[in-house]
C-alpha cells in the first residue's frame, strides 16, 4: 500500500516546517495548532484542557477555529466547523461532539480527534483553491481563483499546469499560466508560495495535496485553511527523519482495530506481505487470501454475489510467510471472527491464486495450528471453512486440511487448481449446493475441463456504460523498447537468487533450449566466483560478478536483466544498469515498495535510453517454450499443468503477479494455452503499461487472442480503449478490471497493490470495465466468468478457421531437485550428522526443544543453558546454580599455573585470542585440571563397591596409586581452601544425597592424619559433588549419570570455567601492551656436558 492519507494537523506541520527551509525563510505559514484526542476524556492520561492551555498559551488570547481531523470531506457543509470562537467556546464545542457518532453524507463514524488552530479573518474573495497531484510524467498543479465549500467542480474549471519530472517550476510560469485571475498585488507572494509548495511536495514524497481554501490577505500573507494530503508510505526509508512520527488514520467511518496495527507491525518486520483491514467486524463472511490480486478478486466475487454488507475483512498473506507468521495471521482473523456470535453462522474462505514460489503446505501448517487452537470456538460459532489453494506443494497442504477436518470433525471443504480460484465462493455463501463442486481428490486430482457448450456473450449494464466519462489517458504511445522474447534471449540476474535462477534453467531445459537463459549473476558483496546449478541431470556453472558492467562485458549476447535488488537499492542499481542501454533492452524489477518518485524517475530515464521496464512489484513474465523471468509460472508441476513448455494462441498482460499464474491456469483450461504473459506490477506507475505489451502481441502473428487483467486505480486501461478505437488493436480482447467491490464501501479502501486505489474520476474498476466494453472488448459480468469468456472467444476463432489447434507435443520431463523431492516426501536418505541438542530451522532457535524466548522468560541462566545443551535436560534450580558455582570457582587460579602461563606467552607473542586460548587449554590433562574426571571415577567406584574410606586408602597405597582429588600445595584443614568450603556447604545444604561427598570427606580424615595438606582439594570436591548431583537430582538414571561422567563432562566444566580466566589473561596482556616473552637465563639450568 503506497499512498496514505495523513491528518490535516500533521500535513500542516510538515508544510510549516519545510516551506520556510525550502525558501530560505521567504515563505512562512502559520504553525500554531493543537490536536485534541479522546485522551481528554481519560483522567489517567494526564491530558486536560488546562494542561493544553498551559502548553499552548496562545490559545487563550486568540480567536480560534475547531474542526474534526479524521479525513472527513466537506466538513463545512456537514456543520463540523466552529469558526471565530474563544478557547472556552471551542472547548465546549469539542466536548459536545467528542466520541459521538456523526453522519457525513452516507458515512457514519465516531468523532475522536479534533484540530484547534488560529482563526484567520478574511473576505470570501481572499479564498483560492490549490491542488497538486502526481502523474506518471510529473506533477499537475491545479488552481482556481475561488475557494471554499462552494468551489464546485474544480476538475472541469481549474487552471492546470503540468510540471515534468526533475524540472522546477518558476514563479513566472506560475504567474502566467495559473494565477492570472488573482489581483496583481497578491501574485508575487502567491507564486512564491506555489513554487515552494511544489518543491516541498516532492521533497517529502507527497502524492496528493489539496488546499481548499488557501487565503491570501491584503498584506500578501498566505495561510492554508484546510488541507487534504496523501504521502507515499513506501518512501519512509528516504524521508522518515523528515516526516517524524507519521500518523495515517483509518478513513472516517471505519474504526481502527488493534489487530490491524498488530498485522501492520508484523508486515514491517518481514519480507513477506501481510495486510489486514477490518470492514465490518460483525460480518459473517471472512477471508484469508494469499496474494494481492487474488485478495481483490475474492472481495469482488463476494460483493458481486450480493454479500458486500457481510464482508468482514480485506487482507492478504503472500510472499512466502513463515509457519509462525501464518499462524499469527490466522489466529488474529479467528480471534476477530469468534468475538461476536451470529445465529446464522459464519464462513471463512481460505483462498488464493496459484502461488509462484510460496510453499503452500508450509503456510498451511501455521493455519492448521490456529484452527486447532480455536476448534471449540469454531464449533460454537458454527463456522464453515472453504479452502481453495494451489501452487508449490499444494497437494500436501490440501491433504493436511482434509485430514484436519476428519480429525477435529470440523466442516472444512477443500479444492485445488482443478477449479477456478473463486468457484467455491457461491458455495460458501449458500448460493450453490456443495455437491455441485466436487472436492479435491488427492488420488485423482483431475484437472477441470471447460464444457464446450457456448455461453451467452456477457455484457455490462447499459446504464453503467452510458455514464462512463473516461479521464485523460496517460501520455505516450505504446513502447517499442521491450524485447520480443525468443529461445535465444539471455539475461543477467542481479542478486544471489539461486532458487529463481535454478527455476529459469529448469524451464530452459524443459523447453529444449540449447543453452541456459541466465548468462551470469551480479552480487556486489563478494568477489567474483561461480555457483553450481543443474542443467537437466548434469551440472553447470554460472559466473557471479560484482558489477553489472563486468557481467555484461563477459556476456555480449545478453539483452535482459532481472533485477532482484531490494526496494532500497532498486534506484541505484537501475541507474547503473541503464548506463548500458546499448546492450540491455529490457529490465524486470521484482521488488515491491519502491517509492513512486524513484519509480517515475527510473521510467523517465529508461524511456530516454530506449530500455523497456517490467515492474516494479512484479513476478515477471513468461514466453512459453522460450524464456521466463524469475519465478514466473511457479514450480515445474505448474509449468506442466498449465502447458507453459509450449506456446499457445493467447497472450495476456496483468497487473498482479500472483494472478498471472491463475491466468496461466485459466487460459490453459479454456484455450490452447499461453503464447506470452507479462505481469506489469501492482504499483501505480509500472515501467511498461498494458498498451505496451498489447501492441507487441498485436504485431505477433502467433497471438490470436488478447487478455487484459487490470484493476482499480490508475488510467492505463484507457490507453487500450483508445487503441481499439483508432484501430491499433484489432485482435479480440478479453478484459476485466478487478476491484469492483470498492464501490460497495462508503469509505476509501486501499487494496493490496500500491496502485490499487482510485485517486480520481474514472479510476474505479466499474468505470474501466464499462469503457473497455464500450470500446469493443469482451468484458465478462464478473471474474468468475473470465475463463468462460476466453473459451467463447477462442472457440469462435476455431470455428472461423483463424486458429488451427496444433498437435500436443510430448510432456517434457525435468528431474526434480532432491531438496524439493524430500520436502514432498518422495525420497529419503541417511543424514550425515545427527544433532539432538539444538535446532535453528524454525521461527526460533531451540535448545533441547526449549525456544530461546523461554530460556530468557524463565531466566534459567547459564547453568540452565549448559544443562540443556550438555545433558538435554532441564535441571532443578539448585543444580543449575551449582553448575554456575563450578564455573565461577574454576574460572582462574592465577597466572603461574601452566594454562594461564601458556596463554600469556602466546598473547605476548602477538597471537590472536583464539590461538592464545587454545595454547592454554592444551595444557589441561592428567597433571593440570584433568583430575576431575579421575577423581569422580575413583571415589564413585569405591562407593559403588561398598568400600569404606580406610579400605579404599589402603587399596590405593597397595597399588601405589595417587588418590585423585586429594592434596594441595599449601592448604590444610586448619587453612581450608574457601572454594572447597563454598562447594561443600552448598552441596550439603541442597543436594538430596551426599554419598560420594561423605565418602571423600572420610578419605580426607585418613589422609590428613598422615600429612596436613592431603585435604580434599577443589577438583576432588567438585568431582564427588557432581556425581552426587547427577545421580540424585532426578533427571537421570544411574546409567545415564555414569555415562555422562565417563564421557568427560566434568573436565568440560573445568575447560569452560578456566577459559574465562585464560581470556582474561589474554586481554590483560594486550591491555598492558606486554612485549614478547623471553624466559630469563638465570631461571634455566644449562647442563651441556656429558650425562
d(CA 42, CA 36): 12
CB-side exposure of 823: number of CA atoms within 13 Å? 14
Distances (CA, A) of 265 to 59, 237, 261, 338, 566: 36, 16, 6, 23, 19
Torsion on CA atoms 842, 847, 853, 855, rounded to nearest 10:
170
Nearest to 228 by CA among 143, 133, 111, 161: 133
User: In the structure grid, which three cell numbers stand for residue 940, read together?
Assistant: 564413585
Torsion on CA atoms 555, 560, 564, 565, rounded to nearest 10:
80
d(CA 145, CA 619): 46
In degrees rounded to 5, what are phi and psi of residue 693?
-80, -40
Beta bridge partners of 652: 677, 707
What secondary structure, in 3-state letters, does 423-480 show? CCHHHHCCCCCHHHCCCCCCCCCCCCCCCCCCCCCCCCCHHHHHHCCCCCCCCCCCCC
- Quick check: 619 and 660 in contact, CB under 8 A? yes
DSSP letters of 555-590? -TT--EEEE---TTTHHHHHHHHGGGTTT--EEEE-
d(CA 509, CA 625): 10
d(CA 876, CA 889): 20
Neighbouring residues of 366: CB distance < 8 A, sequence distance ≥ 6: 321, 322, 323, 324, 325, 326, 327, 328, 329, 330
User: In the structure grid, which three cell numbers stand for residue 961, read together?
Assistant: 596409586
Length of the chain: 1091
d(CA 165, CA 602): 11
Distances (CA, A) of 227 to 7, 115, 556: 9, 12, 54
Q: Which of 753, 791, 968, 1065 is catalytic?
A: 753
Neighbouring residues of 854: CB distance < 8 A, sequence distance ≥ 6: none
Nearest to 570 by CA among 630, 607, 618, 616: 616
- Residue 797: count of CB within 10 angstroms of its CB: 18
In degrees rounded to 5, what are phi and psi of residue 351?
-130, -170
54, burial (CB in 10 Å: exposed 0-12, middle 13-18, buried 19+): exposed
d(CA 263, CA 272): 12
In degrees rounded to 5, what are phi and psi of residue 656?
-85, 135
SS3 category, 223:
strand
- Residue 75: count of CB within 10 angstroms of its CB: 17
User: In the structure grid, which three cell numbers stand for residue 378, read together?
Assistant: 469454531
753 catalytic? Reply is yes
Q: Return the DSSP state at 860.
A: -
SS3 category, 632:
coil
SS3 category, 738:
strand
- Quick check: 668 and 596 in contact, CB under 8 A? no
- Write down the residue that cell numbers 476538475 correspond to: 155
- Quick check: 765 and 709 in contact, CB under 8 A? no
User: In the structure grid, which three cell numbers stand for residue 790, read together?
Assistant: 476466453
In degrees rounded to 5, what are phi and psi of residue 355?
-65, 145
Q: Can you point out the beta strands (E) in 217-304? A: 222-224, 227-232, 273-278, 285-290
Q: Euclidean distance between the first and final Cα of the chain, in Å? A: 90
- Active-site amino acid positions: 753
Amino acid at each position: 500500500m503506497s499512498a496514505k492519507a495523513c491528518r490535516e494537523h500533521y500535513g500542516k506541520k510538515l508544510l510549516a516546517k519545510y516551506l520556510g527551509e525550502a525558501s530560505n525563510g521567504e515563505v512562512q505559514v502559520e504553525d500554531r495548532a493543537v490536536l485534541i484526542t479522546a485522551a481528554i476524556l481519560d483522567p489517567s492520561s494526564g491530558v486536560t484542557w488546562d494542561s493544553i492551555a498551559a502548553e499552548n498559551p496562545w490559545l487563550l488570547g486568540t480567536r480560534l477555529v475547531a474542526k474534526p481531523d479524521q479525513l472527513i470531506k466537506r466538513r463545512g457543509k456537514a456543520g463540523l466547523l466552529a469558526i471565530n470562537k474563544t478557547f472556552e467556546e471551542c472547548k465546549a464545542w469539542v466536548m459536545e461532539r467528542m466520541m459521538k457518532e456523526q453522519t457525513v453524507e452516507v458515512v457514519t463514524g465516531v468523532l475522536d480527534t479534533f484540530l484547534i488552530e488560529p482563526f484567520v479573518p478574511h473576505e470570501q474573495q481572499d479564498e483560492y483553491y490549490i491542488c497538486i497531484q502526481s502523474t506518471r510524467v510529473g506533477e499537475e498543479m491545479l488552481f482556481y481563483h475561488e475557494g471554499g465549500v462552494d468551489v464546485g467542480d474544480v476538475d472541469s474549471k481549474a487552471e492546470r499546469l503540468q510540471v515534468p519530472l526533475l524540472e522546477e517550476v518558476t514563479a513566472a510560469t506560475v504567474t502566467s499560466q495559473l494565477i492570472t485571475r488573482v489581483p496583481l498585488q497578491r501574485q508575487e507572494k502567491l507564486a512564491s508560495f506555489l513554487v515552494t509548495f511544489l518543491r516541498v511536495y516532492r521533497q517529502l514524497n507527497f502524492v496528493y495535496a489539496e488546499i481548499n481554501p488557501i487565503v491570501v490577505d491584503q498584506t500578501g500573507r498566505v495561510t492554508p485553511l484546510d488541507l487534504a494530503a496523501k504521502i507515499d508510505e513506501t518512501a519512509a526509508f528516504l524521508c522518515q527523519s523528515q516526516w517524524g512520527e507519521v500518523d495515517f488514520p483509518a478513513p472516517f467511518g471505519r474504526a481502527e482495530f488493534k489487530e490491524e496495527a498488530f498485522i501492520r507491525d508484523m508486515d514491517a518486520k518481514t519480507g513477506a506481505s501481510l495486510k489486514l483491514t477490518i470492514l465490518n467486524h460483525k460480518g459473517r463472511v471472512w477471508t484469508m487470501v494469499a496474494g494481492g490480486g487474488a485478495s481483490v478478486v475474492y472481495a469482488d466475487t463476494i460483493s458481486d454475489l450480493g454479500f458486500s454488507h457481510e464482508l468482514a475483512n480485506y487482507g492478504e498473506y503472500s510472499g512466502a510467510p513463515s509457519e509462525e507468521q501464518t499462524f499469527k495471521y490466522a489466529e488474529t482473523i479467528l480471534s476477530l471472527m469468534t468475538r461476536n456470535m451470529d445465529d446464522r453462522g459464519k464462513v471463512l474462505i481460505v483462498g488464493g491464486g496459484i502461488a509462484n514460489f510460496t510453499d503452500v503446505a508450509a503456510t498451511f501448517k501455521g493455519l492448521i495450528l490456529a484452527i486447532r487452537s480455536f476448534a471449540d470456538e469454531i464449533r460454537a460459532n458454527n463456522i464453515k471453512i472453504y479452502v481453495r489453494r494451489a501452487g508449490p506443494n499444494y497437494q500436501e497442504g490440501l491433504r493436511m486440511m482434509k485430514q484436519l477436518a476428519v480429525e477435529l470433525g470440523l466442516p472444512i471443504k477443500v479444492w485445488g487448481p482443478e477449479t477456478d480460484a473463486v468457484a467455491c465462493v457461491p458455495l460458501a455463501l449458500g448460493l450453490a449446493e456443495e455437491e455441485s463442486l466436487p472436492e479435491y481428490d488427492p488420488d485423482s486430482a483431475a484437472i477441470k475441463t471447460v464444457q464446450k457448450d457456448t455461453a451467452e456473450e456477457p455484457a455490462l449494464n447499459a446504464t453503467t456504460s452510458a455514464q462512463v466519462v473516461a479521464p485523460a489517458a496517460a501520455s505516450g504511445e505504446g513502447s517499442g523498447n521491450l524485447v520480443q522474447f525468443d529461445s535465444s534471449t539471455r539475461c543477467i540476474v542481479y542478486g544471489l537468487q539461486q532458487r529463481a535462477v535454478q527455476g529459469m534453467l529448469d524451464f530452459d531445459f524443459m523447453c529444449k533450449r540449447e543453452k541456459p537463459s541466465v548468462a551470469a549473476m551480479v552480487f556486489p558483496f563478494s568477489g567474483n566466483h561461480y555457483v553450481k546449478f543443474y542443467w537437466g541431470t548434469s551440472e553447470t556453472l554460472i559466473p557471479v560478478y560484482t558489477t553489472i558492467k563486468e557481467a555484461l562485458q563477459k556476456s555480449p549476447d545478453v539483452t535482459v536483466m532481472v533485477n532482484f535488488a531490494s526496494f532500497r537499492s532498486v534506484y541505484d542499481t537501475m541507474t547503473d544498469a541503464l548506463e548500458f542501454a546499448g546492450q540491455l533492452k529490457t529490465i524486470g524489477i521484482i521488488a515491491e515498495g519502491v517509492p513512486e518518485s524513484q519509480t517515475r524517475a527510473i521510467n523517465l530515464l529508461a524511456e530516454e535510453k530506449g530500455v523497456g521496464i517490467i515492474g516494479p512489484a512484479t513476478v515477471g513474465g513468461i514466453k512459453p517454450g522460450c524464456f521466463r523471468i524469475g519465478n514466473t509460472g511457479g514450480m515445474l508441476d505448474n509449468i506442466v499443468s498449465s502447458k507453459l513448455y509450449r506456446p499457445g494462441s493467447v497472450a495476456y498482460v496483468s497487473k498482479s503477479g500472483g494472478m498471472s499464474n491463475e491466468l496461466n491456469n485459466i487460459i490453459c483450461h479454456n484455450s490452447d494455452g499461453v503464447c506470452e504473459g507479462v505481469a506489469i506490477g501492482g504499483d501505480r506507475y509500472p515501467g511498461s503499461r498494458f498498451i505496451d505489451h498489447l501492441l507487441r502481441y498485436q504485431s505477433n502473428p502467433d497471438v490470436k487472442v488478447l487478455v487484459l487483467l487490470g484493476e482499480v486505480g490508475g488510467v492505463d486501461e484507457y490507453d487500450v480503449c483508445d487503441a481499439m478505437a483508432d484501430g491499433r488493436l484489432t485482435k479480440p480482447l478479453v478484459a476485466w478490471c478487478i476491484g469492483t467491490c470498492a464501490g460497495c464501501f462508503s469509505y476509501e479502501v486501499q487494496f493490496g497493490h500500491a496502485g490499487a486505489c482510485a485517486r480520481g474520476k474514472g479510476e474505479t474498476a466499474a468505470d474501466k470495465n464499462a469503457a473497455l466494453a464500450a470500446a469493443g472488448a469482451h468484458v465478462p459480468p464478473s471474474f468468475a466468468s473470465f475463463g468462460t469468456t476466453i473459451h467463447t472467444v477462442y472457440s469462435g476463432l476455431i470455428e472461423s478457421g483463424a486458429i488451427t489447434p496444433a498437435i500436443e507435443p510430448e510432456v517434457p520431463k525435468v528431474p526434480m531437485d532432491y531438496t524439493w523431492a524430500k520436502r514432498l516426501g518422495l525420497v529419503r536418505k541417511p543424514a550425515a550428522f545427527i544433532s539432538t541438542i539444538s535446532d535453528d530451522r524454525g521461527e526460533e532457535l531451540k535448545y533441547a526443544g526449549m525456544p530461546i524466548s523461554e530460556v530468557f522468560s524463565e531466566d534459567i541462566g547459564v547453568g540452565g543453558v549448559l544443562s540443556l545443551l550438555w545433558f538435554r535436560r532441564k535441571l532443578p534450580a539448585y543444580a543449575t546454580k551449582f553448575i554456575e558455582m563450578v564455573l565461577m570457582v574454576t574460572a582462574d587460579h592465577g597466572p603461574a599455573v601452566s594454562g594461564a602461563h601458556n596463554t600469556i606467552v602466546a598473547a605476548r607473542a602477538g597471537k590472536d585470542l583464539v590461538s592464545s586460548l587454545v595454547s592454554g587449554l592444551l595444557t589441561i590433562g592428567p597433571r593440570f585440571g584433568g583430575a576431575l574426571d579421575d577423581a569422580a571415577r575413583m571415589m564413585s567406584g569405591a562407593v559403588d563397591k561398598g568400600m569404606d574410606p580406610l579400605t579404599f586408602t589402603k587399596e590405593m597405597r597397595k597399588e601405589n596409586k595417587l588418590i585423585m582429588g586429594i592434596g594441595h600445595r599449601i592448604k590444610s584443614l586448619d587453612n581450608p581452601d574457601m572454594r572447597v568450603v563454598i562447594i561443600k556447604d552448598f552441596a550439603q545444604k541442597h543436594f538430596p544425597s551426599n554419598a560420594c561427598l561423605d565418602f571423600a570427606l572420610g578419605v580426607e580424615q585418613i589422609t590428613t592424619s598422615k600429612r596436613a595438606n592431603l585435604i580434599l582439594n577443589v577438583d576432588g570436591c567438585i568431582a564427588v559433588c557432581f556425581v552426587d548431583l547427577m545421580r540424585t537430582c532426578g533427571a537421570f538414571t544411574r546409567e545415564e549419570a555414569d555415562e555422562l561422567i565417563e564421557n568427560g563432562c566434568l573436565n568440560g566444566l573445568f575447560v569452560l570455567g578456566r577459559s574465562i580466566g585464560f581470556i582474561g589473561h589474554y586481554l590483560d596482556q594486550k591491555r598492558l601492551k606486554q612485549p614478547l616473552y623471553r624466559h630469563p637465563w638465570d631461571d634455566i639450568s644449562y647442563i651441556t656436558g656429558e650425562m
